[in-house]
Structure 1
Amino acid sequence: MKGLFRIVDMKRWYLCPQVRVADIVQLNGNIRPRSRQWWQLFRMVSQWHVDVVIVERRSFSIVAAVELDDASHLRPERRRRDILLEEVMRQAGIPLLRSHDARKLLQMTGEWLNTTGADQQPPEHRS
């Protein structure tokens, strides 16, 4: 992920590594706060991290999260976690840029940042 420093305009964006997901999202509003279901989801989410969060410097708003998937993401329990993570991030309105290929991920992230806007949709997950 060091390659992000080469493609990201550091005058416009902050790169925040290893951010805990629970620190950047709010759990689904359809789940009653502090209920058993809420705590179960919170315990999971509070243990998850994304590799990098990209933040717009002026507004300090989150633009996207970046996740480089290693071989561990092929395990069934990790796949389940990844599906849940994608849904949590989607509900939070934070695009999650992911790939197993570091070069593709850098390209995808660069394209995303060059075209990002309030109405942009994240690029499709590419392996």
Structure 2
Amino acid sequence: MRLNDLFLITAPPHQRQGTYARLRDKHVDFLIVALPDFRPVCAIELDGASHDQPQQQYRDAVKDVAFRSAGLPLLRLRAEGNHTRQSVQKLLEGYVRQRTVA
């Protein structure tokens, strides 16, 4: 999911272009939404070995700030991890329940 499609940029007019440029071409691997209105609940980013590199860590930090600013949780999972349906379900359980009740 592209971040520019997910977030509404509310920066002052003179800062919008810079904010847009920082988010351009950035995305998350999964976006979890609440039905029936498809309201975003949280996002999942799979971090592989490339995420250990300084340039990618900077890009990840930009994503982290965007999600924090929007009040939307961004969960990071190592791509090399042994994730099962049950482990991901348990990870999401608190976020999904908390955000869908509100």
TM-score normalised by the chain length of structure 1: 0.65
Residues 64, 74 of structure 2: 8 Å contact kept:
yes
Long gaps (5+) in structure 2: none
Superposition pairs of residues 93-104 of structure 1, within 5 angstroms: 93-100=71-78, 101-104=80-83
Structure 1 residues without counterparts, runs of 5 or longer? 1-18, 120-127
**Is 1:23 aligned to 2:5, yes or no?**
yes
- Quick check: 68-77 or 98-107, which moved more? 98-107
Matched, 1:43 2:21: yes
User: Which amino acid in the other structure matches residue 36 of structure 2?
Assistant: R
The separation in 2 between residues aligned to 1:114 and 1:74, in whole angstroms, is 28
Letter in 2 for 1:103: N
Following superposition, the deviation at residue 94 of structure 1 comes to 1.4
Higher share in helix: 2
1:55 is matched with which residue? 33
The offset of 1:86, in angstroms, is 0.6
TM-score, with length taken from structure 2: 0.79
1:78 matched residue in structure 2: 56
- Tell me how far apart the structure 2 counterparts of residues 112 and 99 of structure 1 sit (CA, whole Å): 10
Provide the aligned C-alpha RMSD in A: 2.4
> What is the percent sequence identity of the aligned residues?
30
| Corresponding letter in the other structure for 1:85 | K
- Cα deviation, 1:87-119, whole Å, max 9, x if unaligned, reads 101111211010214435862x41243232139
Report the count of equivalent residues: 97
Residue matched to 1:15:
none
Runs of 4+ in 1 over 4 A off after TM superposition: none
SS in 1 for 2:43: strand
Paired letter, 2:53: R
The reply on whether 1:110 has 2:92 as its aligned counterpart is: no
Please list the CA deviations of residues 29-87 of structure 1 after superposition, one character each: whole Å capped at 9, or x if unmatched.
4x312x1x321221120210100101112231111111100111111111011111111
Query: For residue 12 of structure 1, what is the aligned residue in structure 2?
Result: none
